[in-house]
Amino acid sequence: MPDALAIVANTAGKLTREGLRVMGRGATALPGLVALTLDPDFISALSRELPHGVVCVSGTNGKTTTSRMLSDIARATGWAPIHNRSGSNLDRGVAAALLADATWSGEPRGDLGLFEIDEASLPGVVGRVRPRAVVVTNLFRDQMDRYFELDALARRIGDALAGLPAETALVLNADDPLVASLAIRKDANVTYFGVDDDAVGGNVPQAISDATRCPRCRSPLRYERVVLAHVGVWSCPTGDFTRPARDVSATKVVLGPRGSEVVIGGVLASMYDEIRVPVPGLYNVYNALAALATARALAIGLPESIRALANFTPAFGRLETVEVNGKTLRLVLVKNPAGFNAAIAALLETGRHPRLLAALNDRDADGRDVSWIWDADFETLAPAVEHAVITGLRGRDLALRFKYAGLPAEKLAVVDDPAAAIEKALGLAPAGSEVVVLATYTAMLALREALARTGAVAPFWED
């Protein structure tokens, strides 16, 4: 039973939630804020009641897809995960998810907490929720007006994880040296995942210098293969830090336009496990490996996990598709150079010439500094683009980025109003064709709302 204060906070949060529903507003973080204001300890009070404990999913890219995959896996084994899946992935979102699930007396109905936590919030949150497992997918530059510097952030996360009990399962990306450096304690209980197919990735480090230096001794890292930015097969020439052995690993990856076929190896898997990741792109292979490794850390069997994964469908803004008048809109959320480069790599894998609708906003949830677009590889994208319609609060910056990447002016149109931008992009696309929507978080919400008004999609308020 939670204590009295937590029950009061739960009741107040639930009342707020009901009130918002009556007013026709979707799930927001406001009920969570109300509960946390009344009881700052609300999250830990309710988390303690969960029989399977809490899993924190963090990292710059792939949090939502990884936790949704894990949620499907947990549900397939008969568990009832509580998931803060609507992208408001801070304290309030976690509190809101907990109270949405709890009874009026503060007892959870679910049995596993599955919380997406922003990497900057992770050091503060883990101490309070006492997670059973913490997953870190990768650490790239993202919205640094809030997060400041990546190596300082990695140190803070590492220190926070070192303060947890030794039995806490850490699930870490072995191919990301910054993430691999998060396991500071000698007795840490770590499950590592990574990709071990020599055919994946290139030999030349890409031009994003997030972490080309050893996190321990700062020597320049050597790369045998680079998958994306600083993720790949790395080693420190001084030998003080090496890529950890992979417990769950992709030994063979075949990428396709609708998904990937992957052979799973590593210490915890057998070489004969073949899985299908039904969403395209190498980054989704990493998300699947993270989900499988976490399932292993939670003692869920690999065969069940693999079956659940095969039926996975993507979430809001993550390669979700919407049909409008016989044309398809493919929604791709982008928010930082690494995520953008991964998205366009997936887009161009099959030699397509995409028709784009691209939207850039600079609200808090997008990152207020739009400088990152200059680090993203528009130079690779621009020559392939059939045409691009640009919108968003900072659409003019985005149009300028396309101009300097070499997209001719006649292939580029700026339309400020989201609904008009959708109409323009669809108008330029022939019947039966696809428009790829690349947008930052609040820009995607605005486009999604405009689509909801035309009846093309249901209004977005999952909880």
Partner 1 sequence: MDLRIGHLYPDLMSIYGDKGNVIALSQRARWRGIAAEVRPYSVGEWREPEWPDVWFFGGGQDQGQDLVGADLAGRNGESLRKSVASGAAIFSVCGGYQLLGTEYVPEVGAAIPGAGILDVTTRAGRKRFVGNLVVDSADGPLVGFENHSGRTYLGPKAVPLGSVVVGNGNNGEDKTEGAIQGKVIGCYLHGSCLPKNPWLADRLLQWALERRHTDVKLAKLDDEAELAARTQATEVAQARP
Q: List residues with catalytic annotation.
A: 369
Angle between helices 122-129 and 150-162 (to 10 degrees): 10
- Residue 207 binding partner per list partner 1, Zn ion, none, with a CB distance cut-off of 5 to 8 Å that depends on partner kind: partner 1
Cα-to-chain-centroid distance, residue 61: 4
Token pair for 246: 């992979």
* 238 near Zn ion (CB under 5 A): yes
Q: Of the candidates 370, 425, 437, 445, which one interacts with partner 1 according to CB under 8 A?
A: 370
DSSP-derived letter for residue 73 is: H
Q: CB of 340: closest distance to partner 1 in angstroms?
A: 12
Nearer to partner 1, 69 or 356 (CB): 356
Q: Of the candidates 152, 162, 267, 452, which one interacts with partner 1 according to CB under 8 A?
A: 152
- Residue 384 binding partner per list partner 1, Zn ion, none, with a CB distance cut-off of 5 to 8 Å that depends on partner kind: none
Token pair for 197: 């197919």
Token pair for 357: 């609708």
How many residues does this entry show for the chain? 463
List the strands of the sheet with 273-277, edge to edge. Answer: 81-83, 112-116, 54-58, 133-136, 169-173, 189-195, 248-255, 260-265, 273-277
* 374 near partner 1 (CB under 8 A): yes
* 209 near partner 1 (CB under 8 A): yes
* 433 near Zn ion (CB under 5 A): no
> Among 143-151, 185-193, 231-239, 305-313, which window interacts with partner 1 (CB under 8 A)?
143-151
DSSP-derived letter for residue 21 is: H
* 211 near Zn ion (CB under 5 A): no
Bridge partners, 249 (sequence order): 194, 265
Q: Of the candidates 371, 380, 433, 454, which one interacts with partner 1 according to CB under 8 A?
A: 371
* 170 near partner 1 (CB under 8 A): no
> Among 16-24, 124-132, 137-145, 173-181, which window interacts with partner 1 (CB under 8 A)?
137-145
Which is it for strands 273-277 and 260-265: parallel, antiparallel or unpaired? antiparallel
Token pair for 354: 């995409």
Q: CB of 183: closest distance to partner 1 in angstroms?
A: 20
* 241 near Zn ion (CB under 5 A): yes
> Among 196-204, 306-314, 373-381, 434-442, which window interacts with partner 1 (CB under 8 A)?
373-381
Q: CB of 139: closest distance to Zn ion in angstroms?
A: 17
Q: CB of 141: closest distance to partner 1 in angstroms?
A: 7
Q: CB of 213: closest distance to Zn ion in angstroms?
A: 8
Q: Name 214's Cβ contacts closer than 8 Å, sequence gap at least 6.
A: 177, 220, 221, 236, 238, 240, 241
Residue 66 vs residues 23, 55, 259, 269: alpha-carbon distances, Å: 33, 11, 15, 19
Cα-to-chain-centroid distance, residue 177: 19
Nearer to partner 1, 220 or 256 (CB): 220
Which is it for strands 112-116 and 81-83: parallel, antiparallel or unpaired? parallel
Q: Name 181's Cβ contacts closer than 8 Å, sequence gap at least 6.
A: 154, 158, 215, 216, 241
Bridge partners, 236 (sequence order): none
Q: CB of 203: closest distance to partner 1 in angstroms?
A: 16
Q: Of the candidates 144, 160, 188, 456, which one interacts with partner 1 according to CB under 8 A?
A: 144
| Cα–Cα distance for residue pair 283/25, rounded to 1 Å | 34
For the segment 264-293, give every residue that binds partner 1 (CB under 8 A).
Answer: none
Q: CB of 251: closest distance to partner 1 in angstroms?
A: 31
Reduced to 3 states (helix: H, G, I; strand: E, B; else coil), residue 248 is strand
Q: What are the residues binding partner 1 (CB under 8 A)?
A: 141, 144-145, 148-152, 207, 209, 212-213, 218, 220, 362, 368-375, 393-397, 399-401, 403-405, 409, 414
